[in-house]
Structure 1
Amino acid sequence: MKKIGIIGYGWLGSRIGERFSGNFEIFTTTTSPQKLQDIRSKGIHADLACFSEEKNEFPELWNNVPELDILIITVPFSERRSSKKILEKKLSDLFSFTGKFEKQVFFMSTTSVYPDEPGLFTEEMQPAENVFVENKVKEAFPQVNILRLGGLMGDSRLLKNFNISDLSGVVNHIHYKDIAEVILKMIEKNIKEELYNVVAPLHPSKQQVLAAQNNQEIEGIKQSDDKRIISSEKLISELEYTFIYPDPEHFHEDRNINLL
């Protein structure tokens, strides 16, 4: 059984771990001492590790790394919310924690690296080398797969539970189940050094998504003419991937998947 390390067992990391738990031995980290026992009770190896500007709590080197076959990094690194100085320190701490790792690596990035303006955005329009955090990660792990995630959705995390503006604007969202399946597909194919936008291929307006989630029928729904669309065509084509949730209007529906 392959061993996977998930650095960051928060909202996304825990859901990836739940999907993988029957097929891999999982090693993970959490920022919360209170969560350690709960995670361990599920048969997952867990250690305390916190990477933030407020505090750093982690062993100098994660002693599980040499055992791992795959490393998944879900710790957020927001260039919009943090200065480069803070990000450099946080990244340095992360690389010290992992040490040298030459096997398959996945880094969860974000589609916020693209301009906040109308247009159709593809991976080649914004190479990882032009994005500060992504470039630093590539320098540490040349083999890394960078996944630029759309707005994270699924379970109770639905658009209707957020304060929404500009209802005519289109969404660039992704269901967490598709994130896990994309990673599994890439593990199966032993893919390295790739950059993918991981976003549902359909882009309804916020008003359409809210109407579907609230079981409402609304006449005269309009989409803004100024659409900002993040394309997932490269992922679909190269991985031959079929989304479980291609349409954000149906993210609130429970769609089970067949385990490997």
Structure 2
Amino acid sequence: MKKLFVGLAMLTAMATGAAFAQMSKPDKPYIVLVHGAFADASSWSDVIKILRKDGYFVIAAANPLRGVKSDGQYIASLVGELKGSVVLVGHSYGGSVITEAANGRPNVKALVYVSAFAPDRGESVAELAAKFPGSTLGQALAPAVTLPDGGKDLYILQDKFHAQFAADVTAPQAALMAATQRPVAAAALDETSGEAAWKQLPSWHIYGSADKNIPPEAMAFMATRAHAREVEIIKGASHVVMVSHPQAVARVIEAAAGQ
């Protein structure tokens, strides 16, 4: 069943990518946005508005959140259908996905990590989150939902979502995000990454100093290790910096696109 799901997802991405390719802007790279766990593609809405206004063609992909390798293959299949250069942007767990997806795709020109993981080969999201103190995510997770294949899906408890995930957005907006969050397979958080694309590609990093999901110290470590072209730290920003500070995030993405 899992293989069937992945196969269908790839076919959908390829068909979608082909349709998008007909609408490309040859003077600018495509921007492909990959959301993380406990979010969805709408988390990029305000960033998309800015990028589109500035002339970029943007695709906010639906990240399956099933596993680093399979999710990376899904995004890579979409990227492979785009007839032009691409900037891959990942939020949170989505950083692991773009790190995987960029491998073997010569049209990817840059990586942007937005409050995101940038793993090296053999590292997992869970390992990196625990590398430095500060994450309180484990205390906010709902009891795992058992899937038909025996796997587990994880959610953030709705009454803890605002403080844990999105402390610097309004309460009504956080409540909506909590209700529409997409779960991540528990196994995905422990799955180790393959080759680290940031070793071959330039990267940009932006995150908040008040992130409770990924310790800021961990993100600083990953950005330094990747020899990031630029690192922007938004004082007081939560894990969803693209929601609370879309202008700053868009600026960093455009810097990567213009290099």
TM-score by length of 2: 0.36
Q: Which has the higher contact order (CA 8 A, sep 6+)?
A: 2
Query: TM-score, structure 1 length as denominator?
Result: 0.36
Q: Which protein shows a greater Rg? A: 1
Q: Hey, which of these two has a bigger chunk of helix by percent?
A: 2
